[in-house]
Amino acid sequence: MAAGYRLPLPALLLPLTCAALAPRTLTGRSGRSAGPRARLPRPEPPPLPRWLQPRSLVSPAEKQRACLLPPDEGPCRALVPRWYYDRYTQSCQEFTYGGCHGNANNFLTLDDCEKSCWTIKKVPKLCRMEADGGPCRSHLRRYAFNLSSMMCEEFIYGGCYGNGNNFRDLQACADHCLPEKTGPSLCYSPKDEGLCSSSVPRYYYDTKTKSCKQFRYTGCGGNANNFVTETDCYNVCRKGKIVSILSVTHR
């Protein structure tokens, strides 16, 4: 290179630029190369909440419980058309979903709603009302049909006003409100006292009155519509287990 000749500025900067762009390696305290930096594995996404899982993953019992939930628009402000099952009108209705949270009583289409909730048993309009103790201060034990649990439950009635979902005893509530349930064929057998001469108190299911009645069993013969206790008779033939699973709720 001739004396006094200067390299142009880009030629001087080229080695520095190449050094800056060269891949760096990690070195330990000994100065040895540690190789390229290892990549951390991506964390797994959190599982979907139960109410957002595909309907095929939800059991029939959970579907039925979902259908009895009140409609919930959620806290967000989107305007998403959805469908929910209205337990009071016992039909699928359209509502506007906010787009987040809410609950499982939320279906994309009317068809989805009806396919999921058609198994909900129909009950009389009076039995869909919520138990109402009224404004008075008596302490009367009464029974009302709970549409969420599909059972007759005890509540405390004040003695005035309220509504028609108010029965003096458990049997009256069950007779009026419990959905029709088909019991085993044995429950449709006629009363049969048998062929012997004993007199044993037993119970049979009377399909005309839809109630269990006492009769005298002679001790042999007869048929399977024959129960030792009234509770056993109801448990088998009404499938409501009216007495044994009564839920007591004071309001």
Same domain, 57 and 112: yes
pLDDT in tens, 208-237: 888 899 999 988 878 888 888 888 888 888
3-state secondary structure of 109: coil
**Residue 230 forms part of a structural domain:** yes
**Residue 219 forms part of a structural domain:** yes
Q: Which pair of tokens denotes residue 186?
A: 């044995």
> Are the CB atoms for 193 and 213 separated by under 8 Å?
no
> In sequence order, what DSSP letters do the residues of 165-194 get, joined into one string?
--BSSHHHHHHHHSPP----GGGGSPP---
Q: Provide the mean pLDDT of the chain.
A: 76
Same domain, 64 and 113: yes
> Are the CB atoms for 101 and 73 separated by under 8 Å?
no
Distance of CA 172 to CAs 3, 49, 151, 209, Å?
119, 41, 13, 12
pTM of the predicted protein model = 0.46
**Residue 85 forms part of a structural domain:** yes
Same domain, 190 and 170: no
Same domain, 157 and 173: yes
Domain count, the chain: 3
**Residue 2 forms part of a structural domain:** no
Look at strands 200-206 and 211-217 and give their pairing. Answer: antiparallel
**Residue 34 forms part of a structural domain:** no
Same domain, 157 and 195: no
**Residue 71 forms part of a structural domain:** yes
Q: What percent of the chain has pLDDT over 90?
A: 28
**Residue 22 forms part of a structural domain:** no
pLDDT in tens, 99-157: 999 999 999 998 889 888 877 777 888 888 899 999 999 999 999 998 877 788 999 99
**Residue 205 forms part of a structural domain:** yes
Task: Among 98, 117, 136, give the residue marking a domain's end.
Answer: 117
Q: What is the CATH number of the domain that holds 201?
A: 4.10.410.10
Same domain, 152 and 100: no
Same domain, 130 and 106: no
Question: Is residue 13's pLDDT more than 70?
Answer: no
| Structural domain span for residue 89 | 52-117
Same domain, 169 and 130: yes
Same domain, 146 and 191: no
Least confident of 86-90, 162-166, 198-202: 86-90
Same domain, 62 and 109: yes
